Amino acid sequence: MAELYMLRPLFPGTSEMDEMFKLCQVLGTPSKAEWPEGHQLANQMNFRWPQVTGIGLKAKVNNASPEALHLIVDMLQWNPKKRPAASQALRYPYFSVGQDLGPKITQQQAMVKLHEQKQFGNLPMPASIKQQKDSINKVSIEGNLPFESLLNEPKPQNQAVANKAPQRM
């Protein structure tokens, strides 16, 4: 998830040891209290944790929202038992951040506008879309449909028209 914000790997290690060092540089070295099993495993493998105070994820993923950082930090806990399960992660504020995206437009409303503008060439309007058009005309005032400015933008030159078969010679 952090990599989506960064557009590059979060911990680009060249080996397992380098990877662990890069993790510690950002997250900090885990304490024995924080992850006893990890320290036990490291001892069994004769691995010595680098003693590093992490810079924190905000320094590394500086364009993420506070809600995103909260989720990423929790998902990157050293101790796997402390990481949220997928079902728990979905309840984080990151996934419930509400934005007012403006009035909603249905697919059929968009299709009506596209047919009116002959975006489909001379193909007839499907009956279900025509019914939707009739109901829109009864309850809607022209100009109230969201995204209307996008639908009314001129097409770039030399752009193929959707669903238009090539002409035979």
Could you tell me if residue 162 is inside a domain? Answer: no
Spatial contact of 119 and 161, defined as CB atoms under 8 Å apart: yes
My answer on whether 77 and 35 are in the same domain is yes
**138 in a domain, yes or no?**
yes
Stretches where the chain sits below pLDDT 70 are 97-105, 117, 119, 132-169
Q: Assess if residue 169 is contained within a domain.
A: no
pLDDT digits (tens, 9 = 90+) for 128-165: 777 766 665 655 444 454 444 444 444 445 444 444 44
Classify residue 156: in a domain, yes or no: no
Q: Are residues 89 and 118 in the same domain?
A: no
Mean per-residue pLDDT over the chain, rounded: 79
What is the rounded CA–CA span in Å between residue 57 and residue 69? Answer: 7
Q: What is the per-residue pLDDT for 153?
A: 46
Do the beta carbons of residue 10 and residue 60 sit within 8 Å?
yes
Domain enclosing residue 143, as ranges: 107-151
Claim to verify: residue 111 and residue 49 sit in the same structural domain: no
CATH of the domain at 87: 1.10.510.10
